Amino acid sequence: MRQAGRYMAEYRVLREHHSLLDICRTPELATEVTLQPVRRLNVDAAILFSDLLLPLDPMGIRFDFVRGEGPAIENPLRTEDDLARIRDFEPREALGHVLETIQQVQQTLNGRVPLIGFAGAPFTLASYAIEGGHSANFAHTKSLMYGHPQAWHRFADRVAGLIADYLQAQIEAGVQAVQVFDSWVGTLNAADYREFVQPHSRRIFDALKDSGVPTIHFGTGTGELLHEMREAGGDVIGADWRIPLDEAWERIGLDRAIQGNLDPTLLLGPPDRFLAGADAVLAKAGGRPGHIFNLGHGILPMTPVDHVQLLVRYVHQYPLN
């Protein structure tokens, strides 16, 4: 879960000389950052270093990352016409540098751990394109969605097709699993999820059914949506820390795998506290196969690296029965 980044000194050193987008768009640099957590933490998988927003640019939606403020979209989509104006793109051309990174990472990893690719789900990607950046209430997104449902569905369906193709291209380039981030979908209730989101997210998972790699479907604040997310698709469903893991797994269904769900802010506290948190997560998983231990969301920049190392060691030595 965003295992590379500013909490690591070796990442901060690279960021002194390169912007986040430079790193994402330069295969040598993105490869190096992808491997940093594998070396430093001994985690069980590498996560492709990239960003969820990269596909916006070839859709004709320009953006940048502003220091201390996060993503900033130049001209957010605010009308029906704006939604209709996005461009289609061929990921093998427009995002060829991402595919090149995948190949370089795989050459360097040489089978040591698997590599996970990822992309944003239509709702979460749309929320950035429409809000223009971070949002507390997703007012612009919901206003377009509720006010112009047909335009929303046409737009979300096109985004789903483009993202499915992008993930397919990542799989062809060599990733061994893909994660679909619907980070902000927890802002919706189950009925609206079913109406406005589920058909589009389902299109992505349906397209990847025969791809031969497992799919992970993740969101935050999704306690009341886990059943609906399962129905949209994903061999693994991610859950955040707001819901106990066993309850989340019941809602998802025990025939699917689950990923989660330690609160990443626990890592800011003392070891006895976060290791007790890890114990609680592992106890609720009950040693059942199909649990991927993970944080419930991204790691925070202030996190001490030695806490993360300790956590990984602790989970690795946890007795499974």
Residues tagged active-site: 2, 6, 15, 51, 128
Which residue from 104, 170, 183, 215 is in contact with ligand CP3, where contact means CB under 6 A?
183
In the bound state with ligand CP3, the residue whose beta carbon lies nearer, of 49 and 155, is: 49
Q: From residue 4 to residue 43, what is the string marking binding to ligand CP3 with x (rule CB under 6 A)?
A: xxx--------x----x-----------------------
Name the helix (H) or strand (E) containing 277. Answer: helix 271-285
Q: What is the C-alpha to C-alpha distance for residues 159 and 313, in angstroms, rounded to an integer? A: 39
Which residue from 7, 63, 118, 249 is in contact with ligand CP3, where contact means CB under 6 A?
118
Would you count residue 78 as binding ligand CP3 (CB under 6 A)? Answer: no
Would you count residue 311 as binding ligand CP3 (CB under 6 A)? Answer: no
> Are the C-beta atoms of residues 14 and 33 closer than 8 Å to each other?
yes
Q: How many CB atoms lie within 10 A of CB 137?
A: 9
Would you count residue 63 as binding ligand CP3 (CB under 6 A)? Answer: no
Smallest gap from residue 15 Cβ to ligand CP3 (A) = 5
> Are the C-beta atoms of residues 190 and 224 closer than 8 Å to each other?
yes
Name the helix (H) or strand (E) containing 292. Answer: strand 291-295
* 3-class DSSP state of 284: helix
> Are the C-beta atoms of residues 160 and 123 closer than 8 Å to each other?
no
Amino acid at 196: F
Smallest gap from residue 248 Cβ to ligand CP3 (A) = 17
Which listed range, 47-55, 88-96, 104-112, 208-216, lies at the site for ligand CP3 (CB under 6 A)? Answer: 47-55
Structure tokens, 245: 């893991």
Q: Is the dihedral of CA 5, 10, 16, 17 positive or negative?
A: negative
Smallest gap from residue 157 Cβ to ligand CP3 (A) = 21
Residues of this chain that interact with ligand CP3 (CB under 6 A) are 2-6, 15, 20, 47, 49, 51-53, 65, 70-71, 118, 181, 183, 297-298
